Amino acid sequence: MKISEILQTNKLTVSFEIFPPKQDSAYDAVIGCADELVRFDPDFMSVTYGAGGGTSANTVKIAAHIKDRGITSIAHLTCLSSTTSEVHRIIGELKDRNIENILALRGDRPKDPDFVPPGDYRYASDLIRDIREAGDFCVGGACYPEGHPESGHKDRDLDNLKLKVDAGCSFLTTQMFFDNNMLYSFLYRAQCKGINVPVLAGIMPITNGAQLKRTIELSNAYLPPKFLALVDRFGDSPEAMKQAGIAYATEQIIDLITNGVRGIHIYAMNKPDVVQKIVSNISDIIKAAK
């Protein structure tokens, strides 16, 4: 099923994201995580794509596995480091496996200063146009409530986002954020720019100190004092930090649903136990909002 059809119903959706293994030896473990997450009956599940190769080979396989378990899946695909023919090979594999949804991304610039991208794709919108021409896919894109780190200016970033949506994006998924006001302000500003596609709120439960460090490096997200106090107090106690992180994410989600946000996308980080706790914390809220 296409995610655009699921979103059309205008009911609350709860979706999960997992990532493929870094090494093939961990493939079965990731499939095990996917199977556990499927049990929580999400509206759909997404599988990320390793920008520099490595984990990318398994993205299609895992997305196909999820689909075979009866849950709509979406495969991420990046383009900056790839040639057109590499991208089209993946699109062909997705077609062969009847996967109808692609999250089209530019990908981060590789850290290696000597790496020169092939130059076939500059922005995600180039990829979106390509996918649209290649087949009947539902295409989603990424968005950044606090601005993409390279854009330098939130307003310019929104102008670029509008170009991306106009290229053929049916919905957007946000970068993680820890202050819901960042999302509410973004949604208002996006509407003012004429960006009217559904926006799924990306929620990252932070359950340990190392994850927090990596999250900050990746996202530049604003960390509210309440969140920092929690990390300060429980960061050195793994079990307490996990519980506090789950409670924080739960509270964020409840506030989002209360304020009318229709799409909650949980960055599951291949931790079904964390997702299970969040989902059970809000099971009646989900039922009431569906």
Q: Is 17 a catalytic residue?
A: yes
Alpha-carbon gap, residue 20 to 41, rounded angstroms? 20
Query: Please, which residue, 103 or 230, has the CB nearer to ligand FAD?
Result: 103
Q: CB–CB of 132/168 below 8 Å?
A: yes
Q: Considering 17, 86, 133, 251, which one is annotated as catalytic?
A: 17
* Least Å from the CB of residue 220 to ligand FAD: 10
* Least Å from the CB of residue 27 to ligand FAD: 17
Alpha-carbon gap, residue 257 to 185, rounded angstroms? 16
Alpha-carbon gap, residue 90 to 167, rounded angstroms? 20
Instruction: Give the footprint of ligand FAD on this chain (CB under 6 A).
Output: 48-49, 51, 76, 78, 105-108, 123-125, 142, 148, 150-151, 157, 160, 163-164, 173, 175, 202
Residues forming the active site = 17
